[in-house]
């Protein structure tokens, strides 16, 4: 998680309930961010161990109370970049059909998705637990919220405010509906956090122009399996970072998960062609040996779930870019490393057994 201070990201712990948020059945993998990346990480995990994805988080630890740069220095107008592949991603997730838990449980990637969900639950739960030590009212920004697969995690974490953003309009509508259902089922003695839902391309649009409260600030920004879509261009990657970090309070965290570029390239170079995979997933590059810092596209296909273009994220560059927003790297681990570390905790182990 990253701390607001100077570097890049990693999972940070939190402080709401001492126990990690419980994973809820996900409504099809998340959209533009949450989903595909989940698939990418899952794809690698499906062939061996879940080491093709990195768990990361960003936290604001030493930043000035004002998020330098932000607002004043830059024009708050939308960044004018080409439509690129973002429209394809939005269209893909808008067209995904909702299927029930029973149908999902029959999927060959059911346990893979559950594992990814466990990773997120532990990451989110520990981050909120850490934040709770210093704050009571915790505000969260969920970039790439998808259909709301993490809504219950935020409830378990006892947050006060949530802003959900995604590029896919249909997914945002489903996320809002899911929140409404949670609210109607709740009890008066268990108040649910306030929520706001925004449809926007976080790689091209500045979110400060879209919040109901223009002074909105957050303690945590969560970006699960989404950030890699922004690495199509430098402008898009920077705009996504700006949206993630610009309104973080000093000491706040930016947490997330993303495919591991090193592992993807390693597997590509070991392949006899420009692709690799198995009967569940495939990753296809245009060619070997050419890996630009931005726009290094590959096509990821995961059985019945994801079939969209994605981009490699060179983490050292990402970490350097985050310094612009006063972010400091707290930690970065592969899923395999994260699992090996966190499963030692009895509560985390029990949660894993449940799912």
Q: Is 224 annotated as a binding residue?
A: yes
Q: And the tokens for 49?
A: 């161990």
Q: Where are the alpha helices (DSSP H) in 234-354?
A: 234-245, 261-270, 315-322, 335-342, 346-354
Q: How many CA atoms are closer than 13 Å to the CA of 72, on its beta-carbon side?
A: 4
What 3-state class would DSSP assign to 12? coil
Q: And the tokens for 296?
A: 């290094």
Q: Cα(345)–Cα(262) distance, rounded to whole angstroms?
A: 28
What 3-state class would DSSP assign to 2? strand
Q: Is the separation of the CB atoms in 255 and 58 below 8 Å?
A: yes
DSSP H or E segment with residue 194:
strand 194-199
Burial of 225 per CB tally in 10 Å (0-12, 13-18, 19+): buried
Matching residue, tokens 């925004």:
198
Q: Which of 337, 352, 301 is nearest to 92 (CA)?
A: 301
Q: Cα(253)–Cα(127) distance, rounded to whole angstroms?
A: 8
Q: Is 144 annotated as a binding residue?
A: yes
Q: Is 120 annotated as a binding residue?
A: yes
Q: Is 260 annotated as a binding residue?
A: no
What 3-state class would DSSP assign to 176? helix
Q: Is the separation of the CB atoms in 143 and 236 below 8 Å?
A: no
Interacting residues of 6 by C-beta distance below 8 A, sequence separation 6+ = 62, 323, 326, 327, 328, 329
Q: Is 291 annotated as a binding residue?
A: no
Q: Which of 244, 325, 289, 231 is nearest to 40 (CA)?
A: 231
Q: Is 166 annotated as a binding residue?
A: yes
DSSP H or E segment with residue 333:
strand 327-334
Q: Which of 354, 128, 315, 312 is nearest to 222 (CA)?
A: 128
Q: Is the separation of the CB atoms in 132 and 14 below 8 Å?
A: yes
Beta-strand relationship, 218-224 and 194-199:
unpaired
Binding-site annotation, residues: 120, 144, 166, 201, 224, 229
Binding-site annotation, residues for S-adenosyl-L-methionine: 120, 144, 166, 201, 224, 229
């Amino acid at each position: 998680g990253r701390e607001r201070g100077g570097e890049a990201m990693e999972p940070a712990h939190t402080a709401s309930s001492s126990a990690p948020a419980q994973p809820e059945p996900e409504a099809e993998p998340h959209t533009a961010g949450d989903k595909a990346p989940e698939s990418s990480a899952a794809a690698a995990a499906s062939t061996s161990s879940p080491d093709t994805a990195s768990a990361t988080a960003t936290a604001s630890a030493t930043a000035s109370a004002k998020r330098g740069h932000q607002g004043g220095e830059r024009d708050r107008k939308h960044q004018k970049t080409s439509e690129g592949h973002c429209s394809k991603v939005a269209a893909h997730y808008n067209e995904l059909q909702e299927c029930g838990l029973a149908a999902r449980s029959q999927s060959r990637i059911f346990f893979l998705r559950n594992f990814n969900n466990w990773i997120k639950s532990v990451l989110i739960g520990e981050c909120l637990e850490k934040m709770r030590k210093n704050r009571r009212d915790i505000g969260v920004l969920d970039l790439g919220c998808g259909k709301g697969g993490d809504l219950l995690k935020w409830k378990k974490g006892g947050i006060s405010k949530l802003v959900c953003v995604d590029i896919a309009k249909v997914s945002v509508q489903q996320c809002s509906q899911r929140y409404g259902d949670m609210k109607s089922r709740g009890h008066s003695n268990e108040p649910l956090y306030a929520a706001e839902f925004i449809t926007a391309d976080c790689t091209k649009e500045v979110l400060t122009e879209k919040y109901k409260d223009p002074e909105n600030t957050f303690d945590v920004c969560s970006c699960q399996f989404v950030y890699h879509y922004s690495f199509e261009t430098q402008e898009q990657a920077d705009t996504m970072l700006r949206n993630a970090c610009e309104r973080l309070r000093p000491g706040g965290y930016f947490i997330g998960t993303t495919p591991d570029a090193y592992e993807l390239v390693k597997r590509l170079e070991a392949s006899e062609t420009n692709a690799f995979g198995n009967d569940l997933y495939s990753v296809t590059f245009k060619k070997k040996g050419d890996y630009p810092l931005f726009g290094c596209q590959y096509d990821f296909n995961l059985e019945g779930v994801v079939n969209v273009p994605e981009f490699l994220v060179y983490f050292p560059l990402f970490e350097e870019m985050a310094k612009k927003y006063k972010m400091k790297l707290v930690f970065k681990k592969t899923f395999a490393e994260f699992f090996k570390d966190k499963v030692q905790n009895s509560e985390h182990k029990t949660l894993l057994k449940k799912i």
